[in-house]
Amino acid sequence: MTVPPPRAADVPPLDVVTLGEVLGSLLATRVGPLDDATHFERRLAGSEVNTAIALARLGHRVGYLGIVGDDLFGKAARARFEAENVDTTMLATSRDAATGLQIKERVVGRDPLYVYYRQGSAGSKLAATPAVLAYLAAARHLHVTGIPLAISPTARQCAFKAVEAARDNGLPVSFDPNLRPVLWPDHKEMVDIVNALAIQCDWVLPGHREGTALTGSSEPEGIAQFYLSRGVRGVVIKLGSRGALLYTANAVWRCPPFVVDVVDTLGAGDAFAAGFISALIDGEQAQRALEKACAVGAIATTSDGDCDGMPTRAELADFMAAHHRTTSEQVLEGAVG
């Protein structure tokens, strides 16, 4: 495995660093069952990949920590990152393992079916080296998901070490559980390990179903209170077509959904995270971050690629201006128990 040299001292610090597994993606060219698909387009996938590209398009300096294979998908991923202005200083190349693969059906207006081929992938070789941890020190924000926790013991350790390093350096940390039960040996282990990392973070961003699986509560307030009572600064619960809720120790905010023509929902949660993080980096209030998160997530659903529909900063501003009546309905609901 090769690791590029550290960033030069005169390079501006990164706004955000994220880490995870890069996946090549084969998207069926026609709408229909995946079993019937015979032709595919090559794309790029991976939760943290999606968020990194979304943040870069929103004008932030973003770095990606990961490993790709010395293969077609790995080279394509590196080229795509560079085209999107995502820093690849710490994107390593493995000579011994291949880039993971996602095969995905093309849909209109619903969740797509997809399958993974990622066991033993290059991304699963991610480890907490001194160079990796040093890379985090100069950033302003760390974003982590539950994916590294599931793909290998070394990647799991890397995620925990990264959060520890971020906290030691005063970096805020956001965490999207991004549960993938199929990657875990059993449900309890998944819940225990994901929650162990979540409670070390500042912002936790579960989907409603994920929050229920992780906390045992089906009520958004119960999910939020589980994490707030353990020291998390804020909990954002994604409700899909019903918008989202933001809970802090003192208040609750609701953002109604943005109405769009949905094509493909995969990647919307990653886009949501990018919108939220972007607003925080810009110094906006948390409730405004919730609006931007919902807007970026909605825009992402209007494209059939996991990360292809991520908006630029100008596109996001135009979208929010056009939907001002929706965003103005956001209301302060009161304190959390």
> Of these residues, 15, 202, 270, 304, which one is catalytic?
270
> Given a cut of 90, is residue 85 above it in pLDDT?
yes
Residue-level pLDDT at 50: 93
pTM of model > 0.85: yes
Pick the residue with more confidence: 65 or 41?
65
Q: Smallest Cα–Cα separation from 251: which of 336, 329, 181?
A: 336
Cα separation of 71 and 21, whole Å? 15
pLDDT tens track for 228-275:
999 999 999 999 889 999 999 999 999 998 988 888 777 889 999 999
Q: Do residues 221 and 247 lie in contact, with contact meaning Cβ atoms separated by under 8 Å?
A: yes
The C-alpha angle with vertex 44 and arms to 38 and 45, in degrees rounded to 5, equals: 100
Pick the CATH number of 16-334 from 3.40.50.300, 3.20.10.10, 3.40.50.920, 3.40.1190.20: 3.40.1190.20
Amino acid at 121: S
Pick the residue with more confidence: 32 or 63?
63
| Region 283-307 average pLDDT | 88
Q: Tell me the pLDDT of the chain averaged across its residues.
A: 89
> Given a cut of 80, is residue 328 above it in pLDDT?
no
Could you tell me the two tokens for 199?
């409670």
Residue-level pLDDT at 34: 86
pLDDT tens track for 36-59:
888 988 888 899 999 999 999 999
Q: Do residues 333 and 252 lie in contact, with contact meaning Cβ atoms separated by under 8 Å?
A: yes
> Given a cut of 80, is residue 84 above it in pLDDT?
yes
Residue-level pLDDT at 11: 53
Pick the residue with more confidence: 265 or 125?
125
> Given a cut of 90, is residue 332 above it in pLDDT?
no
At residue 86, the 3 state secondary structure works out as strand
| Region 164-172 average pLDDT | 94
Q: Do residues 295 and 258 lie in contact, with contact meaning Cβ atoms separated by under 8 Å?
A: yes
Catalytic annotation present for 306 = no
Pick the residue with more confidence: 331 or 230?
230
Residue-level pLDDT at 10: 46
